[in-house]
Amino acid sequence: MIRTLLALAVLAPPNPAQAPRQLEWQPCPGQPTSAIECADLPVALSKPGGRKITLKVARLPATGVKKGSVLVNFGGPQGDQIAIMRSVRPEVFAEIRQSMDVVTWDPRGYPGLGSPALACDWSALTTPAIPDDQAGFDRLAAENRTRANKCRDTDPELFDHMDAASDARDADAVRQALGEDRMNFIGTSYGGAIAQSYARLFPGRVRTMYIDGTGNHGARDWERELDAIARDNERLMGRFFDWADAGLEKRWRALVAKADKDPIPAPKVNARYDGTQVQSLAFQKYKRGPDRWAEVSAAITAAEKGDASGFAPSGSNPYPSLQGGGVKECLDFPRPVTREQVASTTRRLRRIAPSAGAAFPLAWHLPLTCAGWPAPVANPPKPLPGKKLPPILGAGTWLDHAPTARVVGQVPGSRMIEFDGPGHNLFAAMANACVIDHVSRYVVTRELPSRDSECS
């Protein structure tokens, strides 16, 4: 679904009122020769003075005179952050490391180096079809509850506190352990939800904040945000139709309508796709840019002749799916309680975006896999306290520039870096040199790029 990454940093002197814990840095488990060092940090699971869990914190030490630290979350949301930091290209943090430690931590509850970890099925979860009636929706909700309880029963208190706000509190515990008064937060993909949660909880502790390719968890009205995402996706698909032969958009819409009435066989993968599934699978291909557009065009032509196999994803599961089981996402976003809520949202989004439709994770996968969840939404979307925050910096590709800009736009004086191209996570995953330069300068000096800054 939604995947994906973010970070935090600090340059101010320690707050004398705090008594920072001392992190005892040593080689990370299984990595005795790595430049990355690890330390254990006990944090409150749910409330001060209560049960503790242990975070594994890691750092890439500064290569020059250390003046602060930057805390990074790369997204996922379940991602093993320490392993991700090992895989990031050295040039991504080279300039920042001249004066800062680069710090990350493995998020609570997920597999990694922290403890405890929930005993859950973290594999890809197939997106269900929209039930035909309320009885079908109730059965789906019951199935979701049973699946979630298998995970929750291993540690109910931890399961109920896996939301991004709990991660943000963990991040602030890391800040205190580092002895930093204010934090620089760099984050990408789902790490942006953690950054936004941190900004809401601790606005006075933010020194700099960079978000990259993230969703808008700061929306005041969630249904209006879904409308905005649908429009974003329709514009993205419009790029594909501008490239394609004349008439393909009309043919595509007719194909989706046909699949809604009678799902199209995909014999090569032993599947059948309805209209929403076709839209979702096509989106996963054309969002990757012009290199995949001929493949999508050919898949449409073949599906018109009765074979939708060209839309099938790679891997063993031929249907739309997302990794991770939704443990965090179901605590961070609204969920429906009736079938009609899902159906009416789907109809509205299809009117707004007739080509792209409602086939995106926050409108389709999340509502249908989180319905019936045994823990309440703990950290719903809420606007950022813009006037209490320093200006922040954001960036995004064709796929996610617009929602990232809706976050950044909530904070006066903030900036977006313009990037005209496909992809996801310009800073850490794509390692775009221009973006790295802007971000490094901002994190170290707090200097923002000009309003018309572009990267390619």
**HEC sequence for 115-178:** ECECCCCCCCEECCCCCCCHHHHHHHHHHHHHHHHHHHCCCHHHHCCCCHHHHHHHHHHHHHHH
Q: What is the pTM of this model?
A: 0.92
| Integer angstrom CA distances of residue 436 from 89, 205, 211, 390, 422 | 11, 23, 12, 20, 17
What are the residue ranges spanned by the domains of the chain?
6-118+156-218+382-455, 237-370
pLDDT of residue 20: 54
Helices then strands (H, E): number in the chain?
15, 15
Burial (CB < 10 A; 0-12, 13-18, 19+), residue 92, is: buried
pLDDT of residue 443: 98
Identify whether the C-beta of residue 180 lies closer than 8 Å to the C-beta of residue 67: no
Sequential pLDDT tens for the chain (456 residues): 344 333 333 333 333 344 456 799 999 998 777 899 999 999 999 988 899 999 999 999 999 999 999 999 999 888 799 999 999 999 999 999 999 999 999 999 999 999 999 999 998 999 999 999 999 999 999 999 999 999 999 999 999 999 999 999 999 999 999 999 999 999 999 999 999 999 999 999 999 999 999 999 999 999 999 999 999 999 999 999 999 999 999 999 999 999 999 999 999 999 999 999 999 999 999 999 999 999 999 999 999 999 999 999 998 899 999 987 789 999 999 999 999 999 999 999 999 999 999 999 999 999 999 999 999 999 999 999 999 999 999 999 999 999 999 999 999 999 999 999 999 999 999 999 999 999 999 999 999 999 989 999
The C-alpha atoms of residue 145 and residue 142 are separated, in whole angstroms, by 5
Place of tokens 């197939």: 126
The C-alpha atoms of residue 260 and residue 257 are separated, in whole angstroms, by 5
Q: For domain 6-118+156-218+382-455, which architecture applies?
A: 3-Layer(aba) Sandwich (3.40)
